[in-house]
Structure 1
């Protein structure tokens, strides 16, 4: 039974008049009659008593009205909620980020979004490297995530690039690269690159490998870390190196770690990611607000 037939039955049960039902639903009287006939064939008994003067519900018709009426109202309410979520920037938006740089940007966008849309609540969550993008793929965990390209998951949509920044290699302060003005990707290929946990175990190795000069040795895989502080501790102890965005020098200075620019690396491209099935007005408004802010303000 189609939703329209349910709507016709419930409206006729309320109006008890074929003409008024047709007018209220913007259909023909014949369409109302056909739908009720379809109902009665399905049920096997009359649902309405018709005379030349009046229309009344039969006992079974009354019971059917009582049984399906609440469910119909719940369906309509659910549809309305979905339409509101899809078209209006209101309700809860859960935003994720990885780094201190990302956190500052996300907080700034969240404040601006609340000013534009007071009915939109923003919850901010810092992810660890061990999480990867998995929380974004789980319904109810995150709605949108600030991350870097490339991302190959076909279930995700990426915003236009928000901003770009250069690449640094984080090395132990005693490393032979420490103090250099710059190094090359071929230099990085000689190093042991740390791994960012099972979710993104070889992300940077995979990012690096296609960019290496012909004949360069594959990058060695180093110990696994789960958080930025674990990674920095391993680097400071000389256990490996890792690639950072240029702003790392503003947030992660340590006496045992040095940052060296990679002169021929293509750089980081920052984007917002969200599930294709979750392209709500809240998500779109958050991205638009971020782009507006970045047009007039330096990157935090």
Structure 2
């Protein structure tokens, strides 16, 4: 069956009237009747019971209608989304971020983006550790700024925009607070807090299951937000590695930040669902890359005097 034939069949199945179907499709009644007969010959059974007074689907026709309707609507919706994605950069773009400081970077990129594409509005939304990639998969945001790769086959990501060395957040009363640096082996000497909702493979990028020396790294209580994490660390309930910018923006009297000498850097990039990629998403990624090329590390540079 060709697309036009499917359209005619579904329209007759909905209207249950050849005349109204022909009018709706802007074709002749004869063409509607000819097409239905052609489909019935291909199927090998009548699809409609037709009298001078009424048109009704046969059991086979009803089954075919029920099978084709959702699939055909999905095709139409997909074409509509593709057309919308291919149009000019207008409408709205929803950008998610993790951490209040990172919001400054997102807002600055949004300003660059909006200057280039004034017809498109950028709406930002803060994510929580517990959200994981849920904002993307739940269609709450179109693109998400993360300090980790997407690590899923249905996700796309930008190149690394900037990276930061890790520091270890510890209680100001912790023995580590008096040290100039720690190493990954030191993580096995305390309990490392665990972010709720973060997949194990993503978490392992900053906190391995075992220290380089072989000792297991014990996990502590879970937290769902950044503020929960800081409260737990300040209370001595555990330790947690964070990006360097935390030592500049999240200064607290109950927390100390100690550089991790051999820790992997936090690499910030934009992540989005491949199926949801649009001109808006691509343009925002380009604006982010251009901003970083011009300003350097946006989180560290902003904290420097006259930076």
TM-score between both structures, scaled by the size of structure 1: 0.74
Which residue, 38, 43, 46 being the options, matches 1:41? Answer: 38
Q: Please state whether the residue corresponding to 1:209 is helix, strand or coil.
A: coil
SS at match of 2:175: coil
1:92 aligns with 2:89: no
Alpha-carbon distance between aligned partners in 1 of 2:77 and 2:184, rounded to the nearest angstrom: 57
Distance 1:10-1:162 versus aligned 2 partners, 3 A rule:
farther
Q: CA deviation at 1:199?
A: 4.4
Q: Distance between the aligned counterparts of 2:233 and 2:77, measured in 1?
A: 55
Query: How far has the Cα of 1:198 moved from its partner?
Result: 3.9
Displacement of 1:118 in angstroms is 1.6
The separation in 2 between residues aligned to 1:229 and 1:288, in whole angstroms, is: 31
Name 1:53's counterpart in structure 2.
none
Contact between 1:93 and 1:143, CA under 8 Å: does it hold in 2?
Answer: yes
Q: Which has the larger radius of gyration?
A: 1
Q: CA deviation at 1:200?
A: 4.7
1:95 Cα offset (Å):
0.7
Say what the alpha-carbon RMSD is for the aligned residues: 3.7
1:221 aligns with 2:219: yes
Deviation at 1:6, TM superposition (A): 7.5
User: Shift of the alpha carbon at 1:37?
Assistant: 5.2
Counterpart-to-counterpart distance in 2, 1:150 and 1:189: 25
Looking at structure 1, the residues matched to 134 and 27 of structure 2 have their Cα atoms a distance apart, in angstroms, of 52
1:260 is aligned, of 258, 263, 268, to 258
Uncovered stretches (5+) of structure 2, i.e. residues with no partner: 9-20, 42-51, 54-71, 300-307
Decide whether the 8 Å contact of 2:149 with 2:269 is kept in 1: no
Task: Return the offset for 1:2.
Answer: 2.5
- Written as runs of structure 1 = structure 2, the 5 A alignment for 1:186-205 is 186-200=185-199, 203-204=202-203
Instruction: Tell me the secondary structure at the aligned position of residue 208 of structure 1.
Output: coil
Deviations 1:152-211 (A, max 9, x none): 222211111111110000000011111322111111222210111244578545642268
CA contact (8 A) 1:205 1:219 kept: no
What secondary structure sits across from 1:296 in the alignment?
Answer: helix
Number of aligned residue pairs: 262
**2:78 aligned with 1:83, yes or no?**
no
**1:1-300 alignment runs, 5 A limit:** 1-4=1-4, 38=35, 40-42=37-39, 79-80=79-80, 82-138=82-138, 140-200=139-199, 203-204=202-203, 207-209=206-208, 212-213=211-212, 215-298=213-296, 299-300=298-299
Q: Which runs of 5+ in 1 are unaligned?
A: 17-32, 45-58, 61-71
Query: CA shift at 1:88, angstroms?
Result: 3.0
Give the Cα separation in 2 of the matches to 1:7 and 1:267. 55
Does the 8 Å CA contact 2:209/2:216 hold for their aligned counterparts?
no
State whether residues 170 and 233 of structure 2, in contact with CA within 8 Å, keep that contact through their aligned partners in structure 1.
yes
What TM-score results when the alignment is normalised by the length of structure 2?
0.73
